[in-house]
Amino acid sequence: MDELHSRAAPFRMRPRRLVTPDPALPVDVPAGTEAVVVGAGVAGVSAAVVLAERGVRVTLLEAAPTLGGRLGAWPHTLPDGTEQVVEHGFHAFFRHYYTWRSVLGRIDPDLGFLAPVGGYPVISRTWPPEDLTGLPAAPPLNLAALLLRSPSLGLGDLSGADSAAGLGLLAYDRSTTTAQFDGVTAAEFLARMGMSERARQMLFEAFARSFFCNQDELSAGELVAMFHYYFLGNPEGIAFDAPDTDHLTCIWEPFTRILEKNGADVRTGTRVAGIVPEGQRWRLELGGGSLSTRHLVLALDPGGLASLLAASPDTAAAAPLLAQRCASLRVAPPFAVTRLWLDRDVAADRATFSAVSGEQTLDSITVYSRLERPSADWAARTGGSVVELHSYSCDAPDAATATARMRAELAALWPETLDAHVVHRQERLEATAPAFPPGSAGTRPTVRTDARGIRVAGDFVELPYLAGLMERASMSGVLAANDILAESGARAEGILGVPQRGLFAGLPVTPRTDGPGLRFSRPGSARRARG
């Protein structure tokens, strides 16, 4: 049986090989092969690293002064003169991010700079906390364990749930799930699940908002896919790591060295203003000149990609499908990240990372002084702590307002922070994450485009395989690199992934609307009853 399309086997879930290299093909490309990668976030660097180590002469262009995109980091001086590095925010390096972790393995094959975070609690002012760590990796054991230990999910929730909607979570299949649920909002889908408000908020709301969207703006098909990816179809269980020092030191500076060692030209502070077709090549208009290439990877955020195509009318005319799909991209509402240097520590029993449910603004808390060495050193020297607050799909008008709201909500959740003095703060409010609204499946760009030579990479790209967040970005970058390698006659980079179908995939579950709201039914049940 083809392991890619086989149903996830209970009790023995394992990764699937999605792309298998052909050993008959050469590893390296022919001499003289070159490529330009625009955007040096996770997607762009993943593409650039794979291409450069195969002998492609890579030029990597990044508009920002540092690499990393939404995983970027930069030097920052505190009022006391301490030099630290701050980031765009905490990111969980889940252990089933096989592609991204493989790319990171170029820095350190043992990934020694990643350390377990130690838990995934969901906290609330209203209800006792949930902890999603330590569950078995395979269904149905993970669901049974969750039911047995969860204070929010009881037999009453299951008995009142819409069985077809619940089965939809267990029956993920790319084509059928998209057909059934992409046109439905996540809010409507969760409402039809029939669970209590407590179960919905503590088990689903925090999860849904971690994709930067409110439930009424997120496709239920995307929610089901991500629930399969992170929970029901995850061979590693809900476990993740994080770097033990800042991202610049342990990720982006080493990647720069690796790229340059392999002959790549890494240019930061270089913005691409437009793309012009030039026979079988593409000319990139830069601020201080131009650059021509046969192979081009566009690894920008969704807003940046849409703006670049809008500023490139000749390329849009040559690639109408790409232009149409870029124009249809939607950017998620802004997210806020505020890092606070406090004059005292938080309570000893506070988790390093906590997801937050039920607050207007605050969605997660990370105690950086218990996560990475530079912050821990500052806290040990001063007796303080470093705490980072996140708000996804933030409706605050500016970063200062977002900080004030999150600070108040933090004090309500962790009272010991109420009287803490803020020694320093660093805050941002930006909108660069992709949105996945209802009806958007099939409308986003794919890696290969209708413009020969142009590939697209990013965490918004429509991939042939299931992945999420950083892994979707990295996988898209490696797939873009593989497309260039294939055209050059070289061997593909292997890719592993999670099981691509749910435990009950293939069982007939279809939605129907025969009155107010959404109804789910299982076609064939009436025929079986009559038979």
Pairwise CA distance, residues 288 & 357, whole Å = 48
The SS3 assignment for 277 reads strand
Boundaries of domain holding 310: 16-70+246-329+436-497
Q: Is 105 domain-assigned?
A: no
For the stretch 367-370, contacts whose Cβ atoms lie closer than 8 Å and that sit 24 or more positions apart, written own/partner, are 368/90, 368/339, 369/345
Q: How far apart are CA 515 and CA 528, in angstroms?
A: 25
Q: Tell me how far CA of residue 60 lies from CA of 43, 449, 458, 518, in angstroms.
A: 12, 20, 15, 47
> Is 86 part of any domain?
no
Residue 215 lies in a domain: yes
Looking at the structure, do residues 161 and 227 belong to the same domain, yes or no?
yes
Tell me, yes or no, whether 325 and 449 share the same domain: yes
Q: What pLDDT score was predicted for residue 156?
A: 61
Instruction: Kindly compute the dihedral angle of the four CA atoms of residues 190, 194, 200, 204, in this order, to the nearest 10 degrees.
Output: -40
Q: Can you tell me the distance from the alpha carbon of 170 to that of 504, in angstroms, rounded to the nearest whole number? A: 6
The SS3 of residue 350 is coil
Query: Do 524 and 398 have their domain in common?
Result: no
Record the tokens describing residue 412, joined without a space.
């309500």
Same structural domain, 451 and 318: yes
pLDDT value, residue 37 = 98
Do the Cβ atoms of 248 and 402 come closer than 8 Å? no
Q: Give the sheet arrangement for strand 335-342, strand by strand.
A: 130-131, 121-123, 353-356, 364-367, 385-391, 335-342, 422-430
Which of 375, 396, 430 is where one domain is finished?
A: 430
Handedness of CA 213, 215, 216, 222 (dihedral sign): positive
Answer yes or no: are the C-beta atoms of 171 and 509 closer than 8 Å. yes
Residues 197 and 55 in one domain: no
Judge if 151 and 208 occupy the same domain: yes
114-116 and 265-267 strand pairing: unpaired
pLDDT of residue 135: 73
pLDDT at res. 237: 82
Tell me, yes or no, whether 4 lies in a domain: no
Give the Cβ contact number of residue 258 at 10 Å: 17
User: What contacts 200, CB < 8 A, 6 or more positions away?
Assistant: 190, 193
Neighbours of 158 (CB within 10 A): 16
What's the pTM? 0.91
| Structural domains of the chain, count | 3
Q: Would strands 265-267 and 121-123 be described as parallel, antiparallel, or unpaired?
A: unpaired
Please state, in angstroms and rounded to a whole number, the distance separating the CA atoms of residues 124 and 138: 28
Q: Single out the residue in 408, 430, 452 at which a domain terminates.
A: 430
Last-in-domain residue among 390, 405, 430: 430
In a shared domain, residues 194 and 258: no
Same domain, 302 and 444: yes
User: Are residue 369 and residue 411 in the same domain, yes or no?
Assistant: yes
- pLDDT per residue, tens digit, the chain (531 aa), is 333 333 444 445 789 999 999 999 999 999 999 999 999 999 999 999 999 999 999 999 999 999 999 999 999 999 999 999 999 888 999 999 999 999 999 999 999 999 999 878 899 999 888 887 777 776 667 777 777 777 777 656 655 566 677 778 888 999 999 999 999 999 898 888 877 788 888 877 877 888 888 888 999 999 999 989 998 888 988 889 999 999 999 999 999 999 999 999 999 999 999 999 999 999 999 988 999 999 999 999 999 999 999 999 999 999 999 999 999 999 999 999 999 999 999 999 999 999 999 999 999 999 999 999 999 999 999 999 999 999 999 999 999 999 999 999 999 999 999 999 999 999 999 999 999 999 999 999 999 999 999 999 999 999 999 999 999 999 999 999 999 999 999 999 999 999 999 888 876 544 444 433 334 443 333 332 323
Within this chain, do residues 299 and 424 fall inside the same structural domain, yes or no? no
What's the residue count for the chain?
531
Does 506 fall in a domain?
yes
- Across the strands, what pairs with 339? 388, 426
Residues 364 and 315 in one domain: no
Please tell me whether residues 298 and 315 are part of one structural domain.
yes
Q: Please check whether residue 81 lies inside any domain of the structure.
A: no
